[in-house]
């Protein structure tokens, strides 16, 4: 999910549908995704603004996640990521760039199967985890402390809760997913507290079958809502923070040799509403690779 | 055996003394004076900028800049502070000056109005 609304927030990006269910006992799942996100247009409410301090903001992010099936109903997951860059290009004369890079946050979570009915092919899972910043010290460059928007981590601990509902229909080769992810944040050492983020996604997935296709392609369409409450500084609400966004994200999955799952996804914004004036989201791309091993 | 030990200790003592002398040679004098921290404007609108200048004297000075909100453009003794609408409110801009031996910090407030 995106991170560049709200003037490039500090939430870990999240990608794909590959980690929704609980793992089988003693199996190990490794997921990595690369994401490019950008924003180059300010919005005031839900209207385009002519404000133009930042010409372009963008990031390149690589995530890694490892999950292990402790029991048939419970798995543990560790997720982290690295920002190769988190950059703001200023619309100044001469032009100027501020850029941060480095590890983002670690999220250690426990996922549990809440309901599983293989006959009706309905699965419900829930997870709870803790967000641990890779560093509590904010990043400096050239003796200047970088603004929060380009920090790879804001240095605040937090909690992450997810839930997933999956329904499969083998006759029509369709799958339906409804997922929710809520991130609660504490304050960092400087009193900065990112707002709560709630992501809700609905996915429709269809196994592609055609004479000219091998039997290993799946098309997915995701409709995603992202709600962020305003950030706070020393208890005071930060101006121009907080947003409600809707995206459509088409995704194509390919299974290679029954083991490797490869996906490509495009994020397209369809509605953006910001508190105050903020840099909006532009199309982003994600590439995902995952593999599950039975130990 | 005893002679080797004495020789080794003597050599280490010379090395230590030499290192200590080298350390003393690069010692920085206590000559830092941070005179002032002045902003061209103390109130700006989002998207506007103001120059902030730190005036200090001393040997091999380094300037470290920090803002509660808003962006610092440039580095050294003079920077430009710019603010996006995210930075509306009163923001503190701090400058720490050091000569490697001493350091001193001054702060000013810039108000970004809606």
pLDDT per residue over A103-120, tens digit each?
999 999 999 999 999 999
Q: What is the pLDDT of residue A90?
A: 96
Chain A environment of B88 (Cβ under 8 Å): 239-240, 276
Mean pLDDT of A175-200: 95
Q: Rounded mean pLDDT of A260-281?
A: 94
Task: Find the helix or strand (DSSP H, E) in which B22 lies.
Answer: helix B2-25
> Does the residue A1 lie in any domain?
no
Taking the mean position of all CA atoms in its chain, how far away is CA A141?
Answer: 26
Residue range A223-248: average pLDDT? 95
Long-range contacts, A97-102 (Cβ 8 Å, 24+): A98/A141, A98/A146, A98/A147, A98/A150, A98/B71, A98/B73, A99/A141, A99/A146, A99/A150, A100/A139, A100/A141, A100/A146, A100/A150, A100/A151, A100/A152, A101/A152, A102/A134, A102/A135, A102/A139, A102/A152, A102/A153
Quick check: is B10 in a domain?
no
Could you tell me the residue range of the domain that residue A129 belongs to?
6-294
Opening angle at CA B64, ends B63 and B66, nearest 5: 140
Asked, for residue B77, whether it belongs to a domain, the answer is: yes
* Residue at A113 is within a domain: yes
Written as tens digits, the pLDDT of chain B (114 aa) is: 455 555 555 655 554 444 444 455 567 788 899 999 999 999 999 999 999 999 999 999 999 999 999 999 999 999 999 999 999 999 999 999 999 999 999 999 999 998
What is the helix (H) or strand (E) element at residue B66, kind and residue range? Answer: strand B62-67
| pLDDT for the residue B72 | 97
Residue in B67, B75, B114 closest to A142 by CB: B75
Question: Residue A10 pLDDT > 50, yes or no?
Answer: no
Q: Contact B93/B22 with Cβ under 8 angstroms?
A: no
User: What pLDDT, on the 0 to 100 scale, is given for residue A185?
Assistant: 97
| Better-predicted residue by pLDDT, A262 or A17 | A262
Residues 6 or more apart from B100 whose CB is under 8 A from it?
A: B28, B59, B60, B62
Separation in Å, CA of A268 to nearest CA in chain B: 24
Range among A16-20, A239-243, B5-9, B35-39 rated most confident: B35-39
User: Are B82 and A240 an interchain contact pair (Cβ–Cβ within 8 Å)?
Assistant: no
Residues A214-218, mean pLDDT to the nearest whole number: 82
Give the pair of three-digit tokens for residue B106.
């001054």
With a cut of 60, say whether residue A54 has pLDDT above it.
yes
Q: What does pTM read for this prediction?
A: 0.87
Provide the number of structural domains found in chain B: 1
Interchain CB contact of B66 with A (< 8 Å): yes
Strands (E), chain A: 27-39, 42-45, 47-48, 54-69, 74-90, 96-103, 105-117, 122-133, 140-141, 144-145, 158-169, 174-185, 192-193, 197-208, 217-228, 232-233, 236-237, 243-256, 260-279, 282-294
Q: Is A290 helix (H, G, I), strand (E, B) or coil?
A: strand
Q: Does A183 fall in a domain? A: yes
Q: Tell me the residue range of the domain where B49 lies.
A: 33-112
- What CA–CA distances, in Å, run from A271 to A2, A69, A231? 14, 38, 21
| Chain B CB within 8 Å of residue A45 CB | no
Q: Of A13-22, A240-249, B7-16, B104-113, which gets the smallest average pLDDT?
A: B7-16
A57 belongs to a structural domain:
yes
Average pLDDT of span A17-27: 77
Dihedral angle sign, alpha carbons of residues A143, B49, A54, A63: positive
More confident of the two residues B38 and A10: B38
- Asked whether residue A79 is assigned to any structural domain, the reply reads yes
Domain of B77, CATH number, reads: 2.60.40.10
Q: Are A285 and A35 in contact (CB under 8 A)?
A: yes
The CATH code of the domain that includes A13 is 2.40.160.40
**Once rounded to an integer, what is the mean pLDDT over residues A244-251?**
95
Distance CA A272, CA A218 (A): 29
pLDDT at A211: 80
Q: Across residues A209-226, what is the average pLDDT?
A: 87
**Who has greater pLDDT, A170 or B73?**
B73
The total number of structural domains in chain A stands at 1
- Put simply, whether A53 touches B (Cβ < 8 Å) is yes
Q: How many CB atoms lie within 10 A of CB B7?
A: 10
Q: A51 in a domain, yes or no?
A: yes
């Amino acid at each position: 999910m995106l991170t560049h609304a709200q003037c490039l927030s500090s939430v870990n990006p999240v990608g794909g549908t590959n980690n929704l269910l609980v793992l089988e006992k003693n199996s190990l799942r490794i997921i990595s995704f690369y994401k490019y996100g950008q924003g180059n247009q300010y919005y005031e409410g839900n209207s385009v603004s002519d404000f133009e301090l930042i010409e372009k903001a963008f990031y390149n992010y690589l995530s890694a996640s490892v999950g292990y099936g402790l029991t048939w109903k419970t798995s543990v997951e560790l997720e982290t990521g690295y920002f190769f860059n988190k950059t703001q290009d200023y619309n100044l004369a001469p032009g100027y760039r501020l850029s941060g890079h480095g590890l983002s946050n670690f999220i250690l979570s426990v996922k549990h199967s809440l309901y599983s009915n293989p006959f009706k092919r309905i699965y419900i899972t829930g997870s709870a985890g803790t967000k641990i910043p890779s560093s509590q010290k904010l990043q400096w460059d050239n003796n200047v402390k970088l603004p929060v928007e380009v920090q790879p981590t804001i240095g605040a601990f937090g909690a992450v809760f997810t839930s997933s509902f999956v329904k499969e229909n083998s006759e029509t080769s369709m799958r339906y997913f409804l997922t929710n992810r809520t991130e609660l944040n504490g304050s960092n050492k400087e009193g900065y507290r990112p707002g709560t983020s709630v992501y809700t996604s609905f996915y429709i997935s269809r196994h592609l079958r055609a004479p000219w296709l091998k039997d290993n392609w799946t098309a997915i369409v995701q409709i995603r809502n992202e709600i962020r409450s305003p950030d706070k500084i020393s208890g005071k609400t930060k101006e121009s923070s907080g947003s409600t966004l809707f995206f459509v994200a088409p995704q194509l999955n390919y299974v290679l040799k029954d083991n490797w799952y490869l996906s490509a996804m495009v994020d397209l914004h369809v509605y953006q509403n910001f508190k105050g004036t903020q840099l909006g989201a532009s199309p982003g791309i994600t590439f995902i690779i995952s593999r599950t091993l039975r130990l | 055996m005893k002679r080797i030990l004495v020789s080794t200790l003597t050599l280490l003592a010379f090395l230590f003394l030499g290192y200590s002398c080298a350390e003393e040679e690069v010692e920085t004098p206590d000559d830092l004076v941070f005179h002032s921290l002045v902003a061209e404007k103390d109130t700006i609108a989002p998207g506007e900028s103001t120059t902030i200048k730190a005036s200090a004297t001393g040997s091999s000075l380094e300037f470290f800049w920090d803002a509660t909100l808003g962006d610092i453009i440039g580095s050294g003794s003079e920077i430009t502070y710019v603010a996006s609408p995210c930075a509306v409110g009163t923001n503190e801009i701090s400058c720490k000056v050091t000569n490697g031996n001493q350091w001193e910090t001054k702060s000013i407030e810039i108000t970004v109005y809606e």
